[in-house]
Chain A
Amino acid sequence: MNDRKKIYVGLAILIIAVTFPFWYGLVVTGDSTRPELFLPPDATECIEETGFMTANHMVLLKEWRDTAVREGEREYTSRSGEVIKISLTSTCISCHGRKDEFCARCHDYSNVKLTCWNCHVAPEGK
């Protein structure tokens, strides 16, 4: 089995490549502290529980997007029974007005590309 060496080298390269994001993040940026978010001072919770929003805001926003644009439905009832207006630029932005200190902080940290503001007019302009 004279291919053994080649196989090990290949495996090593594979492992390095697959784990690249982890060690790159650790070695190069060296910073893994949780990003600090700007939160509205007068509110304790978003339209749903914080944990739920952190995990599912993208699903909720997509659902809002489709019901508002395609079905013309503009009301959302939260789990606590509150009726909320489906609107990115009025409902969400009324609290999370500083997108650079809210949306961008986490999205930059986790390197997830955010495309909402390519079209929607952000509160602080361009």
Chain B
Amino acid sequence: MERSRRKFFRDAGAATLGLGCGLPMLGTGCSSAGEGAQSDSGSTGQLAMVIDLEKCHNDEIRTACAEACRKAHNIPEIPDPDDEIEWIWDEHYEHVFEDLVHERTPHELKEAPVLVLCNHCDKPPCVRVCPTQATWKRDSDGVVMMDMHRCIGCRYCMAACPYGSRSFNWRDPRDYIEMDADGEFLTDFPTRSRGVVEKCNFCVDRIREGLIPACVEAAAGVPGGEGAMVFGDLRDPHSEVNRLLEEKNTIVRRHSLGTGPNVYYIV
């Protein structure tokens, strides 16, 4: 806090003196170098999610999840699939776990719906390729963050993500966001602008206030949805996610790529 306040006054002072165009830029440059160094140090936590595939066969649970997420983050509903924004959604088992199916896998299993979202990888390829550090892995809890102010919209992260978890705002999302009867947005969560990439943020805004992610909460609210999705910290030995990972047979998406996904599925 102290550091940032000092930095602010230094920049502000320079701006007042009429050096506005040069020095604040230097300031930001220095701060970004600091950020880079920070992310090299070992992280202190890693949030993770365990999804029970069988419980999530229930359509109601998955719909409730996606709906809760959409409302919590002012996600637009764009009818054109080319422009659609998705944070958490359904995909067929055979596409999510491509290596686990073969010609003789039963048809129903191949087409079974699976909830997919950002994996908040240990070694996220999107973070590796981003030219502006608009996306980075947060030290404190391992969430892969997005800075919508920083993103230049080059979409390199989308080419790099092996899970298709990222969406680009091809058009202004505001025209497609659900509003209440008074014409107000459902929440205060900032909408995005045209030309930036977005994705699931593990509900960092809710975690900060001591809540669990909206999808996890919504799933638990549906009858039979208890334990369909479990959320917690992997560094906490007593966390529910750790207990499940020890007891159950779990898998992750495309493990062989070495990205280290943190969304686990109970088979």
User: Which residues of A pack against B, CB within 8 Å?
Assistant: 52, 55-56, 59-60, 63, 65-67, 69-77, 89, 115, 118-121, 125-126
Query: Taking the complex as formed, is B103 at the interface, i.e. its CB lies under 8 A from any CB of chain A?
Result: no
| A63→B1 contact, CB < 8 A | no
- Given the complex of chains A and B, what is the CA–CA distance between A126 and B8 in angstroms? 31
Chain B residues with CB under 8 A of A76: 1, 4-5
- Given the complex of chains A and B, what is the CA–CA distance between A17 and B138 in angstroms? 49
Query: Which 8 residue pairs of A and B lie closest in terms of their CB atoms, listed nearest first?
Result: A63-B8, A119-B190, A125-B184, A56-B12, A67-B4, A118-B193, A59-B12, A120-B190
Chain A: CB-nearest residue to B7: A63
Query: Taking the complex as formed, is B199 at the interface, i.e. its CB lies under 8 A from any CB of chain A?
Result: no
- Partner pick for B8 among A59, A69, A72, CB 8 A cutoff: A59
Chain B residues with CB under 8 A of A125: 179, 182-185
Chain A residues with CB under 8 A of B7: 63
* Given known A-B contacts A67-B4, A119-B193, A59 and B11 have beta carbons under 8 A apart: yes
Besides the known contacts A70-B147, A76-B4, 11 further A-B residue pairs in the complex with CB atoms under 8 A apart:
A59-B12, A60-B8, A63-B8, A66-B28, A70-B136, A70-B145, A75-B1, A77-B1, A118-B193, A126-B179, A126-B185
* Number of A-B contacts defined by CB within 8 Å: 69
| A77→B5 contact, CB < 8 A | yes
Query: Taking the complex as formed, is B45 at the interface, i.e. its CB lies under 8 A from any CB of chain A?
Result: no
Chain B residues with CB under 8 A of A74: 208
Q: How many residues of B contact A (CB 8 A)?
A: 36
- Given the complex of chains A and B, what is the CA–CA distance between A101 and B185 in angstroms? 21
Query: Taking the complex as formed, is B105 at the interface, i.e. its CB lies under 8 A from any CB of chain A?
Result: no
Provide 8 A-B residue pairs closer than 8 Å at the C-beta atoms, listed in order of the A residue.
A56-B12, A56-B15, A69-B149, A70-B147, A75-B1, A115-B193, A119-B192, A125-B184
Query: Taking the complex as formed, is B203 at the interface, i.e. its CB lies under 8 A from any CB of chain A?
Result: no
| B185→A56 contact, CB < 8 A | no
- Closest CB in chain A relative to B17 CB, distance in Å: 11
- Closest CB in chain B relative to A51 CB, distance in Å: 10
User: Which residues of B pack against A, CB within 8 Å?
Assistant: 1-2, 4-5, 7-8, 11-12, 15-16, 24, 28, 31, 35, 74, 136, 138, 140, 145, 147-149, 174, 179, 182-185, 187-193, 208
- Partner pick for B4 among A63, A89, A119, CB 8 A cutoff: A63
- Closest CB in chain A relative to B194 CB, distance in Å: 8
- Partner pick for B149 among A59, A60, A65, CB 8 A cutoff: A65
- Given the complex of chains A and B, what is the CA–CA distance between A69 and B4 in angstroms? 13
Chain A: CB-nearest residue to B27: A63
- Closest CB in chain A relative to B94 CB, distance in Å: 37
| A59→B24 contact, CB < 8 A | yes
| B140→A63 contact, CB < 8 A | no
Chain B: CB-nearest residue to A58: B15
Chain B residues with CB under 8 A of A75: 1
| A71→B4 contact, CB < 8 A | yes
Chain A residues with CB under 8 A of B182: 125
| B138→A66 contact, CB < 8 A | no
- Closest CB in chain B relative to A74 CB, distance in Å: 8
| A121→B148 contact, CB < 8 A | no
- Closest CB in chain B relative to A84 CB, distance in Å: 11
Chain B: CB-nearest residue to A89: B188
- Given the complex of chains A and B, what is the CA–CA distance between A96 and B161 in angstroms? 41
Tell me which of A59, A65, A69, A74 has the highest count of chain B C-beta atoms within 10 A of its own C-beta: A59
| B147→A69 contact, CB < 8 A | yes
